[in-house]
Structures are given as C-alpha cells and as structure tokens.
C-alpha cells in the first residue's frame, strides 16, 4: 500500500503539534506549581547559541503551516512572533492545527513532483515536493519539537518519551 503526500505530511504535522501542545501545558503547570515566571522557561535555551523555547515553538508552527500551505498551493496565515506566555503558545499551536485540519488530501496528493520554492533568510530555495517534505519539513518540525521538549525536560518539567510520542 502506498502512502500519499497528504498522509505523510498533514497528519504527521498535526500529531507533532498536538504532542507539543501537551508538553507546553505540562510546562505551564510546572511553572505555576513552582511559582516560576513563564518568561524564565520561555527564554530558556539548551545552549547559548540556540533559540529559546518560545522561538522553538514558533518555528515548529511556522514550518508546519507554511510547508503544508506550499504543498497544497494554498494561502497560509502568518503569525506575529509575540507570544510571551505558555497560554499564548498554546493558542498559536491550536491555530496552526486548525489551519492544517482545513487542508484536504485532494489539495496535496498528486503533487509529489511539483517544485516548491521558499525564501530563507539568505536565499531562495527550491525542490520537488516529496523531497521538500521528507528532507526539509519533517526533520525541521521534529527538530524544533524535540528541542522544545529538551528545554522543558532540562528545566525539570516531568515529561518523558510518551509525552513526545503522544497517544
């Protein structure tokens, strides 16, 4: 049985983001129980040259939203990067999941060979849709979700592999 481009993308993005939302909720509960200001955890990093937790979540949602939109040849919403609380991050994740859920298989399937182009900070990149999904989108989303998980775990939030993998 073959897997479609839609099946390999949107459901995987939704699962990763829903698991990230659950991890963020545990981070919020941890901060509240220990009377830690959200800003302390949201600005935490695994290493000084890495982005903080808040930016990891922003990039994960941006990558999922823009990547799925490009695969579907659809407009995708842009979000301001202004989240300053766990609650605001949770809303951003929920909004991204809602956008992803609005996409239909017919918008994505069959487009494996179409060229996807996007702008990075320094250049314009292009590749076929299937390698774009497999070699760019999925690794990037999982990297940023994993890093967000690692930051919270490093800061004492009681989360484990089951939280990362989800139900």
Q: What is the CATH number of the domain that holds 75?
A: 1.20.120.450
What mean pLDDT is predicted for residues 136-150?
98
CA 143, 78, 23, 27 dihedral sign is: positive
Q: So what's the pLDDT on residue 121?
A: 87
1 burial level (CB within 10 Å; 0-12, 13-18, 19+) = exposed
What mean pLDDT is predicted for residues 95-102?
98
CA 149, 133, 62, 12 dihedral sign is: negative
Q: Which residue has the higher pLDDT, 112 or 139?
A: 139
Domain tally, the chain: 1
In whole angstroms, what is the distance from residue 79 CA to residue 81 CA?
6
In whole angstroms, what is the distance from residue 42 CA to residue 57 CA?
10
pLDDT band at residue 167 under the 50/70/90 scheme: confident
In whole angstroms, what is the distance from residue 53 CA to residue 109 CA?
33
**Position 1 pLDDT exceeds 70:** no
In whole angstroms, what is the distance from residue 18 CA to residue 90 CA?
10
Structure tokens at 129: 């849709």
46 touches 127 (CB < 8 A)? no
Q: So what's the pLDDT on residue 2?
A: 83
CA angle 38, 85, 57 (to 5 degrees): 105
Structural domain containing residue 141:
5-165
């Amino acid at each position: 049985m073959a897997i479609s481009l839609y099946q390999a993308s949107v459901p995987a993005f939704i699962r990763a983001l829903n698991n990230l939302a659950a991890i963020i909720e545990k981070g919020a509960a941890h901060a509240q129980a220990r009377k830690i200001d959200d800003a302390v955890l949201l600005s935490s990093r695994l290493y000084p040259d890495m982005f903080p937790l808040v930016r990891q979540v922003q990039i994960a949602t941006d990558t999922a939203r823009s990547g799925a939109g490009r695969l579907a040849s659809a407009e995708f919403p842009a979000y301001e990067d202004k989240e300053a609380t766990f609650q605001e991050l949770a809303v951003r994740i929920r909004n991204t999941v809602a956008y992803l859920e609005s996409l239909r298989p017919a918008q994505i399937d069959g487009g494996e060979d179409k060229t996807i182009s996007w702008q990075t900070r320094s250049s314009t990149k292009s590749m076929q849709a299937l390698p774009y999904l497999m070699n760019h989108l999925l690794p990037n989303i999982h990297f940023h979700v994993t890093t967000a998980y690692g930051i919270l775990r490093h800061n004492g939030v009681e989360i484990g592999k089951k939280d990362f993998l989800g139900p």
